[in-house]
Structure 1
């Protein structure tokens, strides 16, 4: 299980970093073409828009795997270790339900609706853009199942963060 998680982290981290680097280059080109050449690129705005959609959804899946999604730790900090593990399990189950229903099922409906549409400038199928929803949903479900497997063995994906916090408190 840990090798699967490490492989997913490596691939997804590389994809997100590559997307970010590509988007920075496209943005730099857009600024240069607009202000230096006085001829704005028509493609760059769509590339940036759709790239940010993909990057944010893949980044959300990556954050799910790392346990670094946005959360309020007020309740979690007041629980015992066993209570924290149960809360983490509940959160993972909630992620599976949300990702399965909203992102995968709803995303596939969006892909099927948008299959005949193309983007205004680049003329790419809009289903490619909507495909980011079920792909990120599937990754979130997989990461959440890995998190649940860790929790069933008494390990929390928050364990390294808690260990670091305890070292800093010493």
Structure 2
């Protein structure tokens, strides 16, 4: 499970970092190309960053699908539980299990429909600018949705066994808490 967790985190972070870098370079290119600096201006104009927007859109699609699964696993996915938390424990627990199961059914259905779409997509369909096969772009739908379905089931089973739901602590920074604890031990 840790391998899947780390792969999910690595994929999201890599896509986010790469998209940010590509957008930065494209914007820098756009604004520096207009500066009247002989030689540099000619070189910048000769660069082609017309592909940047399309690639970043595709990266954000993948990031959003896998980010939603990460959100379910860590407890930061959107949920409205104000009314549910006011119910007695028996009804509250049943509604939580029902909600998690409904989320799994929904995302499993979306994953299956996405897999059908990818399978039946014409093999010659490519993106407009980069000419990436659209199958690779649309593959985010079944992969991300099935991962999200798995995360809903994982959280549901954990809740049934322990009664605990994942909670996100905004003050927690992974890896930093260990360093702080080690530093405090060193002072003592």
* TM-score (ref. length: structure 1): 0.83
SS at 1:42 equivalent: coil
Query: Which of residues 84, 90, 93 is equivalent to 1:85?
Result: 93
Query: Which of residues 143, 146, 158 is equivalent to 2:151?
Result: 143
Q: Which whole-Å deviations, capped at 9, do the CAs of 1:79-129 have from their partners, x for residues lacking one?
A: 234433322211211111111112x11111221225330011111100111
- Residue number in structure 1 paired with 2:74: 66
* 4+ residue segments displaced more than 4 Å: none
- Residue number in structure 2 paired with 1:99: 107
Question: Which structure is higher in helix share?
Answer: 1
How many residues are paired up? 157
What's the Cα RMSD here? 2.1
CA shift at 1:161, angstroms? 5.2
Query: Which of residues 33, 49, 67 is equivalent to 2:29?
Result: 33
* TM-score (ref. length: structure 2): 0.75
- Residue number in structure 2 paired with 1:45: 53
State which structure, 1 or 2, has the greater radius of gyration over its C-alpha atoms: 2
Unaligned ranges ≥5, structure 1? 165-170
Shift of the 57–99 alpha-carbon distance from structure 1 to 2, 3 Å rule, reads: same
Unaligned ranges ≥5, structure 2? 35-44, 172-188
- Residue number in structure 1 paired with 2:162: 154
Indicate if the aligned counterparts of 2:107 and 2:148 stay in contact, CA closer than 8 A: yes
